């Protein structure tokens, strides 16, 4: 039976068949995500973070187990456009303006021009790129391009946003700013967010729930509920409470022998 949770993964395993034999990317993964949660997935390379996010999005099919999204099977939820997905690289078309890039999926979905324009203006405002609609991607910095790709994912106005290490390639100062921007967006919109990262401070700063994963086979070793308030100035990272949660994440990673 599907549940009332926004995302509900039950006993999910996914084995890739490769020429070198089977790769157990996910093994017996159970996780429940409630409406308005900000969930980060952290763990070393190969622990299945991307695979799990892609499974939620029905871009991969589990070998065993079930994923429900909004009470529907993941594949149905994908067809109902239940989520926006932000990839590691911005992936903007260089020959289209920022507005044109955001417009493309809306065109494919059949929204008329006034509706597209209204949506583009709204999402560009949300990511603070209001003045950049007519620019081309190459006229924007890397951080601004990544914000444009977030705007594109927000344009369907789905209640779920899945983000696969969106800021991994950016320098720390830009990343700080974008972390604050994403948190603000989450507070303003009340969306449910799934976010893959390699960074302990990023996971602790952003999340209501931190999911620690470990490789071979890819599994969840710990789920840490954050005790930090929803409103988080960047300086919160210097507080004892923040440092304590970061410590728990570090212990979780060690438990999984992740960095052996």
Ligand X SMILES: Nc1ncnc2c1ncn2[C@@H]1O[C@H](COP(=O)(O)OP(=O)(O)OP(=O)(O)O)[C@@H](O)[C@H]1O
Applying CB under 6 A, the residues found at the interface with ligand X are: 16, 18, 23, 25, 43, 45-51, 218
Give the shortest CB-47-to-ligand X separation in angstroms.
4
Burial category of 227 from C-beta neighbours within 10 Å (exposed 0-12, middle 13-18, buried 19 and up)? exposed
Residue with smaller CB distance to ligand X, 140 or 200: 200
* Distance, C-alpha 13 to centroid of its chain: 20
Q: How far apart are CA 86 and CA 11, in angstroms?
A: 25
Residue 123, token pair as written in the block: 């999402």
Nearest residue to 186 (alpha-carbon basis) of 35, 42, 2:
35
Residue with smaller CB distance to ligand X, 47 or 185: 47
Bridge partners, 68 (sequence order): 8, 73
Q: How far apart are CA 60 and CA 27, in angstroms?
A: 14
Residue with smaller CB distance to ligand X, 24 or 187: 24
Long-range pairs of 221-230 with CB within 8 A, sequence gap ≥ 24: 221/43, 221/252, 221/255, 221/256, 222/248, 222/251, 222/252, 222/255, 223/31, 224/248, 224/249, 224/252, 228/204, 230/187
Give the shortest CB-250-to-ligand X separation in angstroms.
17
Give the shortest CB-22-to-ligand X separation in angstroms.
9
Residue with smaller CB distance to ligand X, 49 or 191: 49
Residue 188's alpha-carbon distances to 76, 182, 184, 207, 240, in angstroms, are 27, 10, 6, 15, 27
Q: How far apart are CA 27 and CA 45, in angstroms?
A: 16
Give the shortest CB-163-to-ligand X separation in angstroms.
13
Residue with smaller CB distance to ligand X, 137 or 217: 217
Give the shortest CB-215-to-ligand X separation in angstroms.
7
Residue with smaller CB distance to ligand X, 84 or 256: 256
Give the shortest CB-136-to-ligand X separation in angstroms.
29
């Amino acid at each position: 039976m599907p549940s009332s949770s926004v995302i509900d993964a039950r006993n999910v395993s996914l084995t890739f068949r490769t020429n070198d034999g089977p790769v157990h990317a996910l093994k017996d993964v159970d996780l429940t995500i409630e409406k308005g949660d900000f969930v980060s997935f952290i763990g070393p390379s190969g622990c299945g973070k991307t695979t799990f996010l892609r499974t939620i999005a029905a871009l991969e099919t589990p070998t065993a187990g079930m994923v429900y999204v909004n009470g529907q099977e993941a594949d149905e939820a994908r067809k109902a456009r239940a989520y926006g997905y932000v990839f590691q690289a911005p992936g903007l078309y260089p020959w289209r303006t920022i507005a044109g890039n955001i417009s493309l999926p809306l065109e494919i979905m059949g929204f008329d021009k006034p509706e597209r324009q209204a949506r583009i203006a709204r999402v560009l405002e949300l990511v603070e790129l209001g003045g950049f609609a007519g620019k081309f991607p190459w006229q924007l910095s890397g951080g601004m391009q990544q914000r444009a790709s977030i705007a594109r994912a927000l344009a369907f106005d789905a209640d779920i946003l899945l983000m696969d290490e969106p800021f991994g390639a950016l320098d720390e100062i830009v990343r700080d700013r974008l972390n604050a921007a994403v948190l603000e967006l989450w507070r303003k919109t009340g969306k449910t967010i799934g976010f893959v990262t390699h960074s302990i401070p990023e996971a602790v700063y952003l999340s209501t729930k931190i999911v620690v994963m470990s490789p071979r086979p890819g599994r969840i070793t710990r789920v840490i509920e954050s005790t930090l308030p929803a409103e988080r100035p960047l300086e919160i990272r210097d507080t004892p409470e923040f440092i304590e949660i970061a410590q728990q994440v570090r212990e979780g990673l060690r438990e999984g022998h992740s960095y052996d």
